[in-house]
Structure 1
Amino acid sequence: MNEHTTAPEPIDDTADDDADAVRRDAGTTESSHANRHWWDRNADEYQDEHGPFLGDTRFTWCPEGLDEADAGLLGDPARLRGRRILEIGAGAAQCSRWLAEQGALPVALDLSHRQLQHSLRIDQDLDRTPVPLVQADATVLPFADGSFDDACSAYGAVPFAADTARLMREVHRVLRPGGRWVFSVTHPIRWAFPDEPGPEGLTALSSYFDRTPYVEEDEQGRAVYVEHHRTLGDRIRELDAAGFRLTDLVEPEWPEGLTQEWGGWSPLRGRHLPGTAIFVAVRD
């Protein structure tokens, strides 16, 4: 296990302001390389902007604010105690920290070293035992078969991996029989609409069935950020092929009283379109 034990240090922040957005193919190596460097460059800004919403010890599944404390998608607190849970694409490990407070034994994995450094910062600020951290690609999990009881991911790793079928197989491999795999992603229907919080974000301009990745490129045509689209049916088939049984598909509604905008998420769009899909699956 490759745990990180250094405190956050300043990093070279290369701006992506001049990146061009295109739709083109992007394979596993290109996607992993681009996204690792993007999150390393932007982790500070991301945590500054979204840290207050995410909280230091809060497990929220989505911009709609659905918390695991209320949803219980991984089970009630009695079930969580003593269970080894892998958080994939953990960022600053806010979800893992909440799981630890319930008595679980979480491990937080992320592709970005800088994101994991923020986890150490938070634990230092809270004067608590650090969450175990691992820097790795989610499609090549550095764990033995059956190492974990459950796995979870709140908007982490899945949209950024080119080969999500392989990611699902890897999660299945490291889980014990009966383990839950719960992950949230941008609702696939959103890919047909502009990523805008206002009225312009309510008109479909693209095909829902177009799986061509979204890529931001530098002046040399090199990818600096990549996201991959799958339909709902694609996700269900990936889970089934990997050996999972889908038990629930949660589409959180926009709650009354939530006025905060988060990128393309807003009260206006949330009243008309689902923004998040949460897949709840069990390893047979």
Structure 2
Amino acid sequence: MLVFPNAKINIGLNIVEKRADGYHNIESCFYPVGWSDALEITLDEKFSFQSDGIAIPGNASDNLCTKAYQMIAADYPLPPVKIHLLKSIPIGAGLGGGSADAAFAIKALNQHFNLEISFKKQLDYARRLGSDCAFFIPNKPAYCFQKGDVFEDIDLNLKGKWIVLINPGLHISTVEAYSGIVPKRSVDDLRTVLKEPIENWKYKVKNDFEATLFPKYPLLEEIKKALYNQGALYAAMSGSGSTLFGIFDVEKDLTKHFADFTVWQGLLD
């Protein structure tokens, strides 16, 4: 079985408070984008995980796809499989690629072997693997809160808008990103602001990580400004970085303009 785990962007990201368990409560809109990995699951004599494309740090046993298989196999009669991942979404880039791989593995195993795992239980499995994994089970625009693992539908439709994602190759760990953050509640309710015309977002829709990471990595702010200079209706950093994105009314080919970086561009659904 072959599936294509896609990335997501954060439209707005407010760090609300630090939790007793060490995590942070956030408020954000997660929106799927078409930048995808490829994940293939086939029957084999014993379980194995292997990957090609972008190198994934750590051992195969630590990969979230492996952990997804092991979780389900503990509850359901799964045969041994080979999981092969072709990694295209940059790692540690604020795009949720690893979380998407894990969530799509859950969905693919359920479908391929007719396990009839309920939607709620798939969400529960995903939440055990990571804060934003559960989003990729329904995989549709959502207002996400608490650790990012609780969400509700949001009336936001960007279908037909053109998006350009720029990854400059900087790896920013979650620990580093949060180290300069002072949590606080946003003045504006993100759900309300996102109902306004997209041209207004740049004045109200903020990613809290930008305030601390831009001074440390000026290149990130330069890329954001360049996206606006190219006509973006809205531009921001996704997640804790280092990928930035611009949303446009018309198709743009910015591969030459950002020739030194990894660029993905396409239509939003």
TM-score bracket, shorter-length normalisation: under 0.3
TM-score by length of 2: 0.27
Which TM-score applies when normalising by structure 1? Answer: 0.26
